[in-house]
Structure 1
Amino acid sequence: MDDEYDYESLGSNTTMAHNALAGALAGIAEHCAMYPVDSIKTRMQVIQSSKPVALVSPLSATATATATATITATTISNPLQIPASTIRSTHSNLWRGVTSVVMGAGPAHALHFGTYEFCKDFLGANKDGHQPLASAAAGACATLAHDALMNPFDVIKQRMQLKDSVYRTVRECARQVYTKEGAIAFYVSLPTTLTMSIPFQSIQFATYEYFRKTLNPSGEYDPKTHVIAGGLAGAFASSITTPLDVIKTLLQTRGSHHDPYIRNTKGLVEAALIIKERFGLKGFFRGFRPRVLTHMPSAAISWSVYEYFKWILNARLSN
C-alpha cells in the first residue's frame, strides 16, 4: 500500500465521523499542552481593582524598598513582563480549570473540524491552487458551531484561572455562576467571542492552507509542514485579534470582580470603554506576548495532531 496520500482530497476521503474524531483529539491536545501559558495570559488581561486602604497592611520604608527592588529585578529578568505575583503562583494553580477545557474542547473541536471539512469541500477550498476566501468562509462556519458549544466551558475555565479564584471544581464553579448570575453569564461574552473568533479562525484557516500548499505543493503527508504552517497561522491570527480577546476576558470574568462597574458590564462596547478609560489604547494589548506564545505552538500542535489522525484514518479506509 502506498503510504503517501493526497492531502487535497483527505477531507472527502475520510468520513465526517473520522474528521470529528481527529478534531476532538487535536482540540484536547492543543488546549492541554498550552494551558499554563493561557492561565498567565488570562491573569495579565484581567483588570485589577485596588483594595480599600484599610484592608492593606502598611509597609515599612525598608519593606517598600525591598518590594520595589524585587519587582524591578523580576521585570529585567522576565521578557514577558509577567507580574511577580503570577510567577509565584503554584504549578497546580496554573492548571486549575483544565478539566473544563477537556470536557468542552473534545466535542467542540469535533464539531469544529467536522464542519470545517464539510464546508471546505462544499465551498471549493479543496480545488487546486490557493483558495483563501473559501478556506476563510469554511473557517467562519466552523467557528460559529464551535463557539456556541464551547463558550460556557470557556467562561468556567477563565473563572477558575483567576489567581484569587475560590472555585475548587468545575461543577462548583458552574453551579455558583448560574446561581449568582443566571444562565446569561455563560453567554454574555458570546457576541464578543464570535466577533473575535470568526476573524481569528478565518485568518488562521486561510493562512494555514496557504502555507501548507506553499510548503508542500505535492500534498503528501509531511509533519514538518503542518507544524510550521500551523505555528505561523496561529501567531498571525492571534496577533491581530488580541484587542478583542482582552474585551472577551473582561466580560467572562466580570462576575468575579470587586469593582461593581466592571461586574455590571453589559457588552462589547461598554467593556471596550472601560479598558480604554483605565489603560488607554495599550490596554487592548494586555497579555499580547503570552497570547501569541500560546497560539503559535497550540495551533502547530492542533493542526499536526489533526492531520496525523486524518492520515491514519484515511490509511485504514484505504485498506
Structure 2
Amino acid sequence: MADEPQLEYEGLSPNAGLGVNMMAGALAGITEHSVMFPIDSIKTRMQVFSASPAAVYTGIGNAFTRISSTEGLRVLWRGVSSVILGAGPAHAVHFGTYEAVKDLTGGNRLGSHNQWLSTSLAGACATVASDALMNPFDVIKQRMQVHESEFRSMFTCAKTVFRNEGLSAFYVSYPTTLAMSVPFTAAQFTVYEQIKTIMNPTGEYSPGSHMIAGGVAGAVAAAITTPLDVAKTLLQTRGTSTDREIRHCRGMLHAFKIIWQRDGFRGFGRGLTPRVVTHMPSNALCWLSYEFFKATIREE
C-alpha cells in the first residue's frame, strides 16, 4: 500500500480561507474554555478580595477540597454557559483576524524576515477585536463564579447587572482587559510560532509540536500578565462586593491602588498558579484543536 501523503499544517494557513480559520477558532475556543473551566473558577475566587474567611483559599488543592466539601463540585461549573455562548464567536473573530492580519503583513511567506513583528501585530489586533465581543460574557461568568453567587442563570445575571449598574458594568474592565490581553496574545502567538518553527521546521503534520508550543506559550503569557488579571477580576466582580471602595472602583489604576493597599506586592500574584495551570493545558488544547479543525474543515 502506498504511503498516504502527509498533511502539512503550515501550508494550510495561507490557503485555508477566512471562513475555515474562523470556524476552527470557534470550535477550538469552546473546547479550550469548557475543559479548564473548574480551574478558572478557582482562579477567580482566589483573586477576589473577600471579608469572608470561607472565601479565602491558600492554593488550588485547598480551594478544591473546601469548595467540594461545602458547596459540591457542580458549583465549579457555574457560569460555563456564558463562556460557551461567548467563546465561539469571540474565538472565531480572534483567529480570523489573526490569520488575516498575519497574511496581510507577510507573516505567512516562507523566509519572511518580519515574521516576529507580523505575528505580534496579528495577535494584538485579534485580541482587540475578540475582547470587545467577549468582555460582557466574561463579566457574567465571573459574577457567577464568586463565592455565594446569587446567580444560577447567565440571562438572569445579565439582566440584574444591567438593571443595577447599567451597560458600563459590562465594559468597565475592557481597558484593563486590553492592557492584559494585548501583551498576553502577542507573547502567546510569538512564543508559539517560534517554538513551532524550531520543533517542526518542515511544517509537516505534527500534533505534538502544536501541543508543546501552545502549552509553553500559554504558561509564559499567563505568568507575565497575572497582575493585570487580578485588577480585571476586581473590576468585573466589584458589583458583588460589600466593600464600599471596591464596589466603587473606577478603573485599572484605582484597582492597582486597592490591590497594593490591601495586599502589597503579593496581591498582584493572586491566582498565579491556577492561572498558569489553566492556560498551559488549555492553550495546548486550543492550538491542537485549532490546527485539527482547520485541517478537517478544509478537507471536507
Normalised by the shorter chain, which TM-score bucket? Answer: over 0.9
The answer as to 2:103 corresponding to 1:121 is: yes
- CA–CA distance in structure 2, aligned partners of residues 79 and 165 of structure 1: 20
Report the CA distance shift for 1:44/1:247 in structure 2 as closer, same or farther (over 3 A). Answer: same
Rounded to whole Å, the distance in 2 between the matches of 1:298 and 1:191 is 24
1:228 aligns with 212
Q: 1:8: how far off?
A: 3.1
Q: Judging changes above 3 Å, is the alpha-carbon distance between structure 1 residues 7 and 105 closer, same or farther for their aligned structure 2 residues?
A: same
Q: Which of these residues, 148, 154, 157, is aligned with residue 170 of structure 1?
A: 154
Runs (4+) off by over 6 Å: none
Tell me, in whole angstroms, the C-alpha distance in 2 between the residues paired with 1:288 and 1:87.
21
Cα pair 1:116 1:142 within 8 Å, conserved: yes
Matched residue, 1:46: 48
Given residue 121 of structure 2, which amino acid in structure 1 is its aligned partner?
Answer: A
Work out whether 1:203 is the aligned partner of 2:201: no
Q: d(CA) in 1 for partners of 2:10 and 2:208?
A: 17
CA distance in 1, matches of 2:158, 2:38: 21
Segments of 5+ residues of structure 1 without an aligned counterpart are 52-66
Q: Which amino acid aligns with 2:153?
A: T
1:14-40 Cα distance to aligned partner (Å, 9 max, x none): 121111110000000000000000000
Q: Please list, as runs of the form range in 1=range in 2, the aligned pairs for 1:113-262 lying within 5 A after superposition.
A: 113-129=95-111, 131-262=115-246
RMSD (CA atoms): 2.0
CA–CA distance in structure 1, aligned partners of residues 83 and 4 of structure 2: 37
- Counterpart CA distance in 2 for 1:230 and 1:184 is 34
| 1:80-119 C-alpha deviation (Å, 9 max, x unpaired) | 5548644534111000000000000000000110111111
TM-score (norm 1): 0.88
* Equivalent pairs, count: 294
User: Which has the larger Rg?
Assistant: 1
Contact 1:80 1:289 in 2 (8 A): no
Between the aligned partners of 2:52 and 2:78, the Cα distance in structure 1 is 24
Give the Cα separation in 1 of the matches to 2:16 and 2:257.
47
Match of 2:24 among 15, 22, 25: 22
Give the alignment's TM-score, normalised by structure 2: 0.93
> What SS class does the counterpart of residue 127 from structure 1 fall into?
coil
2:77 maps to 1:95:
yes
Measure, in 1, the Cα distance between the counterparts of 2:269 and 2:243: 21
**Cα distance in structure 2, aligned partners of 1:243 and 1:10:** 36
Identity percentage over the alignment? 54
Distance 2:41 2:291 in 1: 27
Alignment check: 8 A CA contact 1:137 1:202 kept:
yes
- Determine if the alignment matches structure 1 residue 282 to structure 2 residue 266: yes
8 A contact 2:14–2:108 mirrored in 1: no
